[in-house]
């Protein structure tokens, strides 16, 4: 029996990268996991299969975020598989935006629609499904608190907005014993960072040099922190911003 046995978790963007790492970890801890994806159904199937191979239980939900009605569509699909949930991880995001000189208005709007508006409305329409004593984790970024990559400014701005959402939502849901936290990764090896890490011969070394620990993170390193926050041990942590950057902000 795992520490999350009997709980249901929804992880957005769980087909790949950090979301997949979180989904697999929560599955190993005993939760039944809703594996959300946008377009990559094959990758979502792989996540579900990996959870089941490890002895866990999971199902997949394909809903594009950042379009009108996205949150309602997500919950309609979710309701076909489960009756309420205990853990919600807002992880899906557009990970890069172009420099301010080049960024078009529609790209800016899309980043905010996927990274900020979608989590907001997923909560607005999901609060009644979230059981008392539940957990919400919003995946932020170290870039919300450092100007080390100003060319990715609009993306960083979305994460700043998401952090305000975590902070204020913790007050709204606190009376029900529901905690809400932001978890902020540094550079993690995923599809999203492939160009940064592998696009030039010194990409990996330059990225590693940013962290105090001298490395690049793996999805499991973020998943372990999320696993703590959603466990019983995390019950007195809310409205918090948890730095999982390997010391990249020091």
Options 2-10, 23-31, 79-87, 189-197: segment touching ligand NDP (CB under 6 A): 189-197
CA distance 102 to 39: 26
Distances in Å between the alpha carbon of 159 and those of 116, 174, 214? 8, 22, 24
Q: Token digits for 31? A: 């939760």
14 and 27 Cβ atoms separated by less than 8 Å? no
Rg (CA), the chain: 17
The only residue of 191, 198, 212, 233 in contact with ligand NDP, by rule CB under 6 A: 191
- For position 119 contacting ligand NDP by CB under 6 A, the verdict is no
Question: In terms of CB distance, is 3 or 192 closer to ligand NDP?
Answer: 192
Instruction: Compute the least distance from the CB of residue 161 to ligand NDP, in Å.
Output: 12
Stretch that binds ligand NDP, among 36-44, 75-83, 123-131, 172-180 (CB under 6 A): 36-44
157 near ligand NDP (CB under 6 A): no
Question: How far apart are alpha carbons 35 and 146 in whole angstroms?
Answer: 31
- Is 207 within 8 Å of 241 (Cβ atoms)? no
Q: Does 107 bind ligand NDP (CB under 6 A)?
A: no
Query: Should residue 181 be labelled a site residue for ligand NDP when binding is judged by CB under 6 A?
Result: no
- Segment near ligand NDP (CB under 6 A), from 60-68, 122-130, 163-171, 232-240? 60-68
Told to check if 13 binds ligand NDP by CB under 6 A, we report yes
Q: Is 28 left (phi over 0), alpha (psi -120 to 50) or beta?
A: alpha
Instruction: Give the strand pairing for 8-11 and 85-90.
Output: parallel
Q: Which of 11, 31, 43, 156 binds ligand NDP (CB under 6 A)?
A: 43
Helix (H), strand (E), coil (C) string for 60-99:
EEECCCCCCCHHHHHHHHHHCCCCCEEEEEECCCCCCCCC
Cα–Cα dist 192/91, whole Å: 13
> Backbone phi, then psi, for 116, in 5-degree steps?
-120, -55
**Partner residues linked to 11 by β-bridges:** 35, 89
Using rule CB under 6 A, residue 64 touches ligand NDP: yes
190 contacts ligand NDP (rule: CB under 6 A): yes
Out of 31, 89, 114, 136, which residue is the one contacting ligand NDP (CB under 6 A)? 114
C-beta of 5 vs 62, nearer to ligand NDP: 62
Distance in Å, CB of 1 to ligand NDP, minimum:
29
Which residue is closest to ligand NDP by CB?
17
For the annotated catalytic residues, the residue numbers are 140-141, 155, 159
Please state the closest distance from residue 98 (CB atom) to ligand NDP, in A. Answer: 15
Contact residues for ligand NDP, defined by CB under 6 A:
13, 15-19, 37-40, 43, 64-66, 91-95, 114, 139, 141, 185, 187-188, 190-193
């Amino acid at each position: 029996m795992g520490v999350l046995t009997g709980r249901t978790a929804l992880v957005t963007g769980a087909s790949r990268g950090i979301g997949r790492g979180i989904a697999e970890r929560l599955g190993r801890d005993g939760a039944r996991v809703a594996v959300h994806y946008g377009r990559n159904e094959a990758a979502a199937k792989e996540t579900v299969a990996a959870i089941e191979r490890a002895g866990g239980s999971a199902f997949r939900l394909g809903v594009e975020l950042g379009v009108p009605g996205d949150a309602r569509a997500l919950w309609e699909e979710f309701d076909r598989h489960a009756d309420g949930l205990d853990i919600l991880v807002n992880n899906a995001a557009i990970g890069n935006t172009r420099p301010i000189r080049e960024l078009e208005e529609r790209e800016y709007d899309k980043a905010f629609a996927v990274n900020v508006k979608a989590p907001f409305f997923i909560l607005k329409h999901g609060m009644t499904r979230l059981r008392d004593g539940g957990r919400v984790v919003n995946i932020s970024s170290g870039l919300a608190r450092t100007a080390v990559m100003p060319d990715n400014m609009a993306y960083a701005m979305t994460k700043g907005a998401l952090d305000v959402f975590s902070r204020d939502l913790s007050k709204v849901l606190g009376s029900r014993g529901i905690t809400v936290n932001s978890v902020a990764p540094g550079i993690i090896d995923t599809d999203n960072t492939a160009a940064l890490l592998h696009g030039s011969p010194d990409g990996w070394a330059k990225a590693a040099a940013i962290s105090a620990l001298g490395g690049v993170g793996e999805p499991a390193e973020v998943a372990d922190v999320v696993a703590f926050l959603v466990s019983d041990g995390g019950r007195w942590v809310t409205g918090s911003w948890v730095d999982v950057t390997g010391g990249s902000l020091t």
